[in-house]
Amino acid sequence: MTTEKVDFTGVQSTMLVTLFLRAADARDAEPVLGDHFAVEAVNRIDYDWKKIDKPGSLRGRFGVALRAKLLDDWTAGFLRRHPDATVLHLACGLDSRAFRLELPAGVRWFDVDLPDVIELRRKLYDEDDRYRMIATSVTDATWLDGVPTDKPALIVAEGLLMYLEEAEVRGLLRRLTDRFRTGELIFDGAAPWMARTTQLLSKYLARWYRYPPFRTAVRDGSDIERWNPSLHYRDDIATMARYEQIPDPKARRTYRLGSRIAWYRNSIRVFRAEF
């Protein structure tokens, strides 16, 4: 059974792109991530996928899959250390991380996104005692009131913080660290030149560049601690530096060459901080 017609715009439209690219990776003979849930979701969602199904877009599946795989690995590692953790997946979009990972029995998982996104998710995924969806803007100050705080927390923010203004990032992170006693934050961040580039594209080439610009960039781990002194930077990894995981020889070679240029390699990195 397919969903009703879907046609998100703005930031929400990016989740359809990443979903399609994860599905494209899963259809490869040797996938990086292998998210079969993404394939099933694409097959069920009534959307004009031809908007995305183009050679230029499809080449981006490797970066999307590498980022998701790294966040999956960090999530799995945290849950091995804290098998009774609470996980908050902020701006989850249509990601299936809660289902493609093997969650310890004591884990409570909350997927959080805007009401129209969660309405669509509920047509694709089922809730139970350990898995819940919360329909809200992550910048709303009240939604955390319904989340238990008695266990270590893992905050996953994939494809989120760069779209918020810095004041919104600071406020969100402060509410999270005020709410939970201990845990980790993992997220992807864009370099300053990437943020400036998307802002210029959005301003001067909006006819062709239809995605929202990045609002907040990350130079290095000190920015995280500047946003919130309760957060302690741990490490970061450039997704491009994981090129050895790409099975396709041509794409692997391209990523390997790009990783030799520091400013280009660090355009998108995945960061980890503790609190």
**pLDDT at residue number 41:** 97
Residue 85 pLDDT grade (very low, low, confident, very high; cuts 50, 70, 90): very high
**pLDDT at residue number 56:** 87
Q: Is residue 205 part of a domain?
A: yes
Amino acid making up residue 257: L
Q: Is residue 25 part of a domain?
A: no
Task: Characterize 220-230 residue by residue with b for buried, 16 or more Cβ atoms within 10 angstroms of its Cβ, and e for exposed.
Answer: ebebbeebbee
Residue 1 pLDDT grade (very low, low, confident, very high; cuts 50, 70, 90): low
205 is written with which tokens?
A: 């080439």
- Give the chain's mean pLDDT: 96
**pLDDT at residue number 80:** 98
Enumerate the β-bridge partners of residue 235: 272
Please say whether the beta carbons of 108 and 193 come within 8 A: no
Please say whether the beta carbons of 62 and 18 come within 8 A: no
Q: Is residue 255 part of a domain?
A: yes
Does the structure show a pLDDT above 80 at 125?
Answer: yes
Residue 163 structural domain: 62-274
Q: Is residue 238 part of a domain?
A: yes
pTM of the model: 0.95
Cα 267–Cα 69–Cα 131 angle in degrees, nearest 5: 120
Q: Is residue 188 part of a domain?
A: yes
Q: Is residue 225 part of a domain?
A: yes
191-200 long-range Cβ contacts below 8 angstroms, 24+ apart: 191/217, 191/218, 191/219, 191/263, 191/266, 191/267, 191/268, 191/269, 192/217, 192/219, 193/263, 193/267, 194/267, 194/268, 195/162
Instruction: Count structural domains, the chain.
Output: 1
Q: What is the pLDDT of residues 7-63, one digit of tens each?
A: 777 777 889 999 999 999 999 999 999 999 999 999 999 999 998 999 989 999 999
Q: Is residue 133 part of a domain?
A: yes
Backbone φ and ψ for 208, nearest 5 degrees, come out as -105, -35
| Helices (H), ranges, the chain | 11-27, 36-44, 55-58, 61-81, 97-100, 115-124, 166-179, 192-204, 221-227, 249-259, 262-265
Mean pLDDT calculated for residue range 248-259: 97
For residue 96, CA distances in Å to 36, 47, 173, 175, 199 come to 9, 19, 24, 25, 30
Instruction: Give the percent of the chain with pLDDT over 70.
Output: 99
Does the structure show a pLDDT above 90 at 4?
Answer: no
Domain CATH for 117 = 3.40.50.150
Q: For residue 150, count CB atoms less than 10 angstroms from its CB and return exposed for 0-12, middle for 13-18, buried for 19 or more.
A: exposed
Instruction: In whole angstroms, give the CA distance from residue 153 to residue 275.
Output: 9
Q: Is residue 183 part of a domain?
A: yes
**pLDDT at residue number 143:** 96
